[in-house]
Structure formats: C-alpha cells, structure tokens
C-alpha cells in the first residue's frame, strides 16, 4: 500500500513539473511567471508607443510580466537590452530589430538558454516566429488608394510627395511599392519629391520644406503614421487642407484616425492586422504558442491589410 501511495505522489509531481515553464508557471493559463522582454526601434513613433502600451495591458491582464524598451535605432543598445533580458530570465523576447544582421548573435545566445524569440517585421534566423508584412504590397496598397483618389478627384493629374524611410530595407520596399502604384495607376501624376520621415517631427519638417519648393503638391503618401501625422500638421499650418488635398499612409494610429474623422488632410490609412487591441491579442497568442511547446507549423506569419477611410473609421477610432 505504501508503495502505491509513493507512486501516486510521484505521478502527481510529474504532472506539476510538466505544466511548468522556465520560471515555474504555465503560459497556457496566463501564469504570472510568464515574463516577456520587448525591444523596439523607437517609442517616439506613435505607432510603436501604441503597440507597446496595448501589449503591456494585455500581458498584465493575463497575469504575465513585460518590460518593453526602445533602442533608439542603435543596434549596440539593442544588443545590450537583449543581454539584459537574458540575465533577467525572460521566457520570450519580442524584437523589432534596428539591424537584423547585427542582433542575430545575441538572439542565438538567448535561444541557447531556452528563451523563445518573436521577430517583428524581419524574418530573423534566430527567431522561433517571424511576424511579417509584405512591405512592397503594403506600399502598393497605399499608392493604389492615392492613385484612385487622384483619378477620381483631380482628373488624374497631381503633384505627389512621398515620405519614405530608405534607411531600413523593409521600409525601402514599402516606399518602392508606393512609387510603383502611383506610376502604374495614375501615370499622369508627377512625383515631385521623395524624402525620409519616420516620426511626426520629421514629417512636419520635411513637409514644410516640400511645400516651400513645391507649393502645388496635392497628394502625400507616407510609409507610416508618424510621417502622415506630421504632414497633416504641416498642411494645416500652411493652409493646405482643402477638398483637393489628400494624405495616404499606413499604421492607422489614433492621431491619423482623428484627422480622418475630422475631414483634415488624411484620406486613407492602412491598419495592419487591426486595432492595437487586435495586435496585442495576436502577440499574446504567439507567446502562448511558444510557451506551450507545441509544434510550430510555420515560422512565418504574414499580417493582413485593412484600408481605413471615413466610411469605416469609427470601427477603429479609440480602440
């Protein structure tokens, strides 16, 4: 009888041990022991600030822990952040890399300790999951809506400015997609200016310069929400907000959506995946999948595009 009791106790302990993660908790039940470290390029960009805040809210609501930081596009700083995550014993690292090649070795070291890695926007070798965007296709979608608007509202002829960010390969692809769509779908439109703008401050400064040298610009295409919000502010200051002026972009940040709702310069912005809450839910699902130990069917997960206009802006505003 004593032997049977001992066997039963050992079996029960085995069940408990199997249910535990790296820090002694099960991610499947949102245990507080699930620890996430997240490093992004910048938090001055309203897009990323919104993402991080929503993800923090979701993970904490599920009983997990998260520490998110920005590397300010400095790969050396981001490597140090990864090393700090390793030292603190996180279960999952989420990374939006400043330099995809530059962070590979640090992530390899993280995975060697059993940490799982989610790569955001780049298909890194040392990642367990890669959450990806077809950036050329996203850029083409932005340019496609701008071209349709030019054809419908400006008779197919307009001066166009593109706010891109060729410093990052993925955003270079996005800018190239915008240019391709404008050229193919509105061939009489003229792209008169292309310059980089990743956040609101740069968007304002660059559009002020563009308006000075090209006062007849009627259409602005931006690779992201930071540039588009800046362009909208510059247009308001210059008295350019008219029915024949339009800004087209991606990210669907709350400032973009408010401008869209208020009939300012922004005419369309593409949300990738959905609201910040939708994004946070997807990230949490990936964390759970990695911590569950279940087989990963495919490493690459591509995100969907949803154009937001005045017709459907209320579905995303304030969410």
pLDDT per residue as tens digits for the range 174-218 = 999 999 999 999 999 999 999 999 999 999 999 999 999 999 999
pLDDT per residue as tens digits for the range 56-88 = 999 999 999 999 999 999 999 999 999 999 999
pLDDT at 169: 87
**Region 136-162 average pLDDT:** 98
Taking CA atoms, 131 is separated from 96, 238, 299, in Å, by: 10, 39, 8
Share of the chain above pLDDT 90, in %: 81
Taking CA atoms, 123 is separated from 111, 131, 231, 297, 300, in Å, by: 15, 8, 31, 16, 7
pLDDT at 9: 30
Q: Of 2-16, 24-38, 292-306, which gets the smallest average pLDDT?
A: 2-16
Do the two domains 18-132+275-304 and 135-272 of this chain adopt the same fold? yes
Q: Could you tell me the fold of the domain covering 135-272?
A: Rossmann fold (3.40.50)
What is d(CA 258, CA 254) in angstroms, rounded to the nearest whole number? 6
Kindly tell me the sign of the dihedral angle through the C-alpha atoms of 213, 218, 221, 227.
positive
β-strands 116-120, 92-95 pairing = parallel
Torsion of CA 106, 109, 114, 116, to 10 degrees: 20
**Region 27-55 average pLDDT:** 82
pLDDT at 24: 40
> Is the pLDDT assigned to residue 20 strictly greater than 90?
no
pLDDT at 27: 44
Domain over 18-132+275-304 is classified CATH 3.40.50.2300: yes
What is d(CA 27, CA 318) in angstroms, rounded to the nearest whole number? 29
- Asked if residue 174 lies in contact with residue 164, where contact means CB atoms within 8 angstroms, the answer is yes
Say which residue, 208 or 293, is predicted with more confidence. 208
What is d(CA 48, CA 52) in angstroms, rounded to the nearest whole number? 6
pLDDT per residue as tens digits for the range 105-128 = 999 999 999 999 999 999 999 999
pLDDT at 2: 32
- This prediction's pTM: 0.76
Confidence at 28, pLDDT banded by 50, 70, 90: very low
Q: What is the DSSP letter of 156?
A: T
Confidence at 319, pLDDT banded by 50, 70, 90: confident
pLDDT at 13: 31
Arithmetic mean of pLDDT over the chain: 90
What is d(CA 35, CA 90) in angstroms, rounded to the nearest whole number? 5
Confidence at 29, pLDDT banded by 50, 70, 90: very low
pLDDT at 51: 93
Q: What is the DSSP letter of 304?
A: P
Say which residue, 318 or 191, is predicted with more confidence. 191
**Region 38-42 average pLDDT:** 95
β-strands 305-308, 300-302 pairing = unpaired
Structure tokens of 60? 């904490």
> Is the pLDDT assigned to residue 25 strictly greater than 90?
no
pLDDT at 249: 98
pLDDT per residue as tens digits for the range 238-268 = 999 999 999 999 999 899 999 999 999 999 9
pLDDT at 45: 78
**Any idea where the domains of the chain sit in the sequence?**
18-132+275-304, 135-272
Say which residue, 8 or 63, is predicted with more confidence. 63
Confidence at 44, pLDDT banded by 50, 70, 90: confident
β-strands 266-272, 305-308 pairing = antiparallel
- Asked if residue 152 lies in contact with residue 185, where contact means CB atoms within 8 angstroms, the answer is no
Confidence at 46, pLDDT banded by 50, 70, 90: confident
């Amino acid at each position: 009888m004593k032997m049977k009791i001992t066997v039963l106790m050992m079996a029960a302990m085995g069940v408990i041990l199997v249910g535990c993660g790296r820090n002694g908790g099960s991610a499947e039940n949102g245990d507080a022991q699930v620890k996430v470290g997240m490093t992004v390029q910048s938090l001055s960009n309203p897009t990323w600030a919104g993402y991080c805040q929503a993800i923090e809210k979701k993970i904490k609501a599920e009983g997990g822990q998260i520490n998110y930081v920005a590397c300010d596009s400095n790969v050396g700083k981001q490597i140090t952040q990864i090393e700090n995550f390793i030292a603190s014993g996180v279960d999952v690292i989420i990374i939006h890399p400043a330099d995809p090649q530059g962070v590979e070795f640090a992530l390899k070291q993280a995975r060697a300790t059993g940490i799982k890695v989610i790569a955001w926007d780049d298909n890194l070798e040392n990642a367990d999951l890669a959450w990806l965007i077809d950036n050329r296709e996203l850029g083409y979608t932005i340019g496609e809506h701008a071209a349709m608007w030019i054809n419908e509202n400006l008779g197919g002829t307009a001066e166009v400015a593109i706010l891109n960010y060729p410093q990052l390969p993925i955003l270079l692809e996005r800018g190239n997609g915008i240019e391709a769509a404008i050229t193919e779908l509105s061939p009489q439109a003229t792209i008169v200016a292309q310059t980089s703008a990743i956040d609101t401050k740069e968007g304002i400064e660059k559009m002020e310069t563009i308006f000075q040298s090209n006062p007849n610009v009627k259409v602005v295409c931006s690779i992201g929400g930071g540039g588009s919000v800046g362009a909208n502010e510059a247009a308001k200051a210059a008295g350019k907000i008219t029915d024949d002026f339009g800004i087209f972009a991606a990210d669907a940040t709350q400032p973009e959506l408010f401008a869209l709702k208020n009939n300012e310069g922004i005419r369309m912005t593409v949300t990738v995946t959905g609201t910040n809450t939708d994004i946070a839910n997807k990230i949490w699902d990936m964390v759970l999948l990695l911590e569950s130990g279940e087989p990963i069917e495919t490493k690459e997960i591509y995100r969907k595009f949803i154009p937001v206009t005045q017709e459907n802006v209320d579905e995303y505003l304030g969410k």
